[in-house]
Structure 1
Amino acid sequence: MALFSYRLHKHRSLNECSITEEQGVILTSALKSNPSHMRDMSLSVNQIKDTGVNHLCDVLKDSHCKLESLWLKGCEMTDEGCSALASALKSNPSHLRDLSLTENKIRNTGVNHLCDVLKDSNCKLESLWLRDCDLTVEGCSALTSALKSNPSHMRELSLSLNELGDSGVKNLSDLLMNPQCKLENLHLNECSITEEHCVILTSALKSNPSHLRELHLSVNQIRNTGVNHLCDVLKDSLCKLERLSLIGCSITDASSLTQCFTNTKALPFLKELDLRCNLIRDSEQLERLDTRIKL
C-alpha cells in the first residue's frame, strides 16, 4: 500500500476530469506546499485555461520542483498562458523532459516565448507536442530555428496541423542534418508539405539517417516525387526507420517502393508503411510483396 501511494504521489493523471480554472488554482495551491516529489502531471482536456496555467507556473518556478512530464493538451490555453509557462520554465529548465501543449491556441506569440526556453543550454526537453496550436509559418520557423541551437536532447517532435512553410522546412532540415541531432519520432501530418519540401527533408535524412524511427507525413502533397526521394532514405543500410505514415499524400505511382521492397536489405527494420487513401495503381503488387504495408 505504501509503494502504491508513493507511485501515485509521483505520477498524477487527471485527464478529462472536468477541472475548471478555479479548481485548477486549488490543485496547484496544494502542489505548491509539496512540490519536490511529483514527476508526471497530466491535466489534458480540462478547462483550466490561462488562470490555471498561471498558478501552475508558480509550482514550476519553485527550485524544489522536479517535474519531468507535463501534459496540457486541450486546456483552452492561449498565448498568454504559454508565455507564463515559458517564463516559469526559463527559471527552472533542467528537469522537464516531456511537454505537450497540443490543441491549445498558443499561436506565434506563445511559441516565440517557448523558443527562449529551447535555446537555453540547460533545457533538457526530449519530447515536445505542439499539434494543432494555430502556428503559422512564422511561428514554426522560429521554433525549428530554436531547436537548431540546442539539438542534442530532443527525441520526439510533433508539429502536425500547423503551417510549416519553406523556412520551417529549411530549419527542420538543418536540424536533421546536425550530427548532434538524435530525433527519433517526427510528426508532420497536415503541415502543407509539398513534394519540393519532401525532397529537402529527405536530403537531410540521407546525411544523418540512423536515428529516426518514426516519420509521419500524412495528408501532405508529397506526391510521387516525394516518395521517390523517401525510397532513397529507406535503401540506405544505416536507415533504422520503423514506421512511415503517408496516408492521403496524393501518391499514384508506387513503382519506386516496389523496387525498394524487392531489392534492399535495409527494410527489415521497417514495421509499418501506411499508404491508405492514395490512388496507387499497383497496390495489389505492393500488398503481395509485404504484409507490413497498409493500403
Structure 2
Amino acid sequence: MSEQRNLEPGTSGSSEQLTPQALQPSYQQAKSVIVLNISGNYMGTTNFYVPGRDLNVNPSKMPFNIKTEDSEKQSLKENCLKYVKATADITNRVPLQATKQENIPKLHLMDVDLSVDFEIILEFLPGFTELTLHTCGLTISMVKNLVGVITQHNIHLSHLELSGNNLNGVGKYLAKSIHLMQALVLVNCNLQENDFIAIAEATAKRDTNMSWLNLSFNVMSKKSLDSFAPGVHKLDGMLLNECSVTGDGLEQLCLEISKRQKPMNVLYLRRNNIGLIGVNHVSSCVYNIRVLWLNDCNLTITCLRVLIAAILNMDHSMVYLDLSENKFGDEGAIALATCLVKVEILGVSDCDITPVGAEALHKANIELKRRIGGLPDISQATAASSVERPHEVAQKPKKLCAIS
C-alpha cells in the first residue's frame, strides 16, 4: 500500500506521524463526499465513507456503512450500483453526471482481481473523480483502455492510483491523459526508463500544475530523473521513496527546483543513498521546498552541516524537515538546534540521539515552541539547566508532539 493514503497529521499529543499527503496543501480543504472501498472478493462489508470537513477527522471512523449479508457474494457491478444509488440519495444529485467535482464519488479497489470485471470499471469511470486500483492485476492493455475512456470523456481525475501492478511499458499510454490528472500514484509498478521519460515529457506540457506524482519503489536512473527536470515546475509534490536515487542523479532536478517561481510543496527522497553530493544539490534548492523528507538517506554530520547552513541562509521558514533514520547522533542534534528558527516541524526518529542531544534541542526550542518528533526522554540528561525544563517528549520514536 502506498504510504500516503488516508492519513492525517497528528495533533498535539497524538501518536500519528505527519505524512506527505497530510502536509499537501490541496488536501487542506476536505470535501464531504462518499468513498467506496472494496477489498478481496467482495465478501463481507462494503463501506461507504463520508469524510468530515475537518482535516483531523478520520474518514474510516464516520458512521455511514452499508453491510452486505455475510453469506452473499456481491459482484463488483452490484456493489457499484449500490454505491451510486447511495451517493444519489445523499447528495440529491443524478449520479454519473459531470457536476461539481466534490459531489462525485470516489472508488478505491485493493487486492481485487479485475481480470474479469474490468469492463465494469470502464462503465462507471465517467462518474468518478478519484480512482484507486491497487494490486488489481492490471495489464498494459487494461490501462490502455482506461486511458482511452478518460480521454474520450475528458474525465478530470483528482487522483489516479495504479500502484502494485506490473506496468512496464505503460508510460506512453498514461502520457496521453496526464493533463487530466491532478495526482498520479504509481508505486511499485516496475516502471522503466522509457516510462519515466514519457510521463515526464507529458507533465512538462501541462497547462496547470500537478499536485502529486508518486513514483516510489521504482528504480530510477540518472537519465530518468533528468527527464523530469524541465517540467519539475509543473509538479507541486514529488515522491521518490526508495528509487535508487544517487547524489549525481539529483543535480538537474534540484537545479530546476531552484528556478521555480513558487516553492515546491513536497520533495520526498526517503531511503535513497544520496550522500554528500546529493545533499549539496538539495541544499542549493532547499529554500524553494516547503516539505522535505531525507530520512534514511545515509546522511553524516558533514552532510547535516551543509544542509543546516543552507537552511539558515533562507529568509523564511520551511514547514517540515524529516531527517529520521540518519545516524548523526548528539553532534547532529546539537547542530540542528541552531536551525530550529527556520524549521517549523522537525523529524529526528532513530538518529541515535541520546538525552544529551535531546536536551540541546529542548533548550533551543523553549522560545520557539517548534514541533519535534522522535526525541528520547530527557529525564536522564546529566547536565543541569537553570532554565525550566519543558514537558518531556513521549518516548515512542514515531510520535510528534508540541513542546511547550
Task: Tell me the TM-score normalized by structure 1.
Answer: 0.81
Q: Is the 8 A contact 1:137 1:163 kept in 2?
A: no
Partner AA of 1:186 in structure 2: L
Deviation larger for 58-67 or 96-105:
58-67
Alpha carbons of 1:65 and 1:188: their partners in 2 closer, same or farther (altered >3 Å)? same
Q: Which residue of 2 aligns with 1:283?
A: 357
Which whole-Å deviations, capped at 9, do the CAs of 1:200-228 have from their partners, x for residues lacking one?
A: 211222xxx2x532110111122112211
CA gap of 1:106–1:4, structure 2 versus 1, over 3 A, is: farther
Q: 1:258 to 1:95 in 2, by over 3 A?
A: same
Tell me the alpha carbon deviations over residues 23-59 of structure 1, each in whole angstroms, 9 at most, x when there is no partner. 223321443xxx3x53222222322232321221111
Separation in structure 2 between the aligned mates of residue 110 and residue 237 of structure 1, nearest angstrom: 36
Provide the secondary structure at the position in 1 that maps to 2:285.
helix
Residue 294 (structure 1) aligned with residue 371 (structure 2): no
State, as a whole percentage, how many aligned pairs show the same letter: 14
Q: Which residue of 2 aligns with 1:196?
A: 277
Q: Distance in 2 between matches of 1:11 and 1:39?
A: 7
C-alpha contact 1:195 1:226 (8 A) present in aligned 2: yes
**Which ranges of 4 or more aligned residues in structure 1 deviate by more than 4 Å?**
4-9
Matched residue of 1:102: which SS? coil
Q: Is the 8 A contact 2:247 2:277 kept in 1?
A: no
The alignment partner of 1:21 has SS state of coil
Q: Is the 8 A contact 2:160 2:185 kept in 1?
A: yes
- Structure 2, unaligned runs of 5 or more: 1-88, 96-100, 366-370, 376-404
CA distances 1:245-287 after superposition (whole Å, capped 9, x unpaired): 11222313223212334xx4x44xx12x222222346423235
* Counterpart secondary structure, 2:261: coil
Of Structure 1 and Structure 2, which has the larger fraction of its residues in strand?
Answer: 2
- Give the drift of 1:293: 4.0
1:157 corresponds to which residue?
238
Q: How does 1:223-262 map to 2 (within 5 A)?
A: 223-236=300-313, 238-252=315-329, 253-254=331-332, 255-261=334-340
Write the distance in 2 (CA, Å) between the matches of 1:193 and 1:215.
Answer: 14
Amino acid at match of 2:219: D
SS in 2 for 1:249: coil
Specify which of 102, 108, 131 is matched with residue 14 of structure 1: 108
Q: Which has the larger Rg?
A: 2
Which secondary structure state, in structure 1, belongs to the residue aligned with residue 116 of structure 2?
helix
Distance 1:236-1:175 versus aligned 2 partners, 3 A rule: same
Q: Who is 2:213 aligned against?
A: 128
CA distance in 2 between partners of 1:72 and 1:201 (Å): 29
Give the partner amino acid of 1:80: G
Q: CA–CA distance in 2 between the matches of 1:122 and 1:241? A: 27
Contact in 2 for aligned 1:13/1:42 (Cα 8 Å): yes
Give how far 1:236 is off: 4.3
- What amino acid is aligned across from residue 147 of structure 1 in structure 2? G
Distance in 2, matches of 1:102 and 1:232, equals 33
Q: 2:162 aligns with which of 68, 72, 81?
A: 72
Rounded Cα–Cα distance in structure 1 between residues aligned with 2:102 and 2:266: 28
Q: Which runs of 5+ in 1 are unaligned?
A: none
Note if contact 2:270-2:295 (Cα within 8 Å) is conserved in structure 1: yes
Aligned residues: 272
Matched, 1:102 2:175: no
Give the TM-score taking structure 2 as reference length.
0.61
Offset of residue 18 of structure 1:
1.1
CA contact under 8 A between 2:337 and 2:361: conserved in structure 1? no
Match of 1:171 in 2: 252
SS of 2:321's equivalent? strand
Residues 287 and 293 in structure 1, CA contact (< 8 A), matched pair in contact too: no
Residue 194 of structure 1 deviates from its aligned partner by: 0.5
1:11 touches 1:41 (CA, 8 Å); kept in 2?
no
Paired residues of 2:247 and 2:275 also in contact (CA < 8 A): no
* Contact kept? 1:140, 1:163, Cα under 8 Å: no
> What is the CA-CA distance between 1:121 and the residue it aligns to?
4.3
Deviates more, 1:22-31 or 1:244-253: 22-31
User: CA deviation digits over 1:43-100, x for unaligned, max 9?
Assistant: 22322232321221111221532223212122x13222233222x22xxx54321111
CA RMSD of aligned residues (A): 2.6
8 Å CA contact 1:154–1:181 kept in 2: the answer is: no
Asked whether the equivalents of residues 98 and 128 of structure 1 are also in contact (C-alpha less than 8 Å), the reply is yes
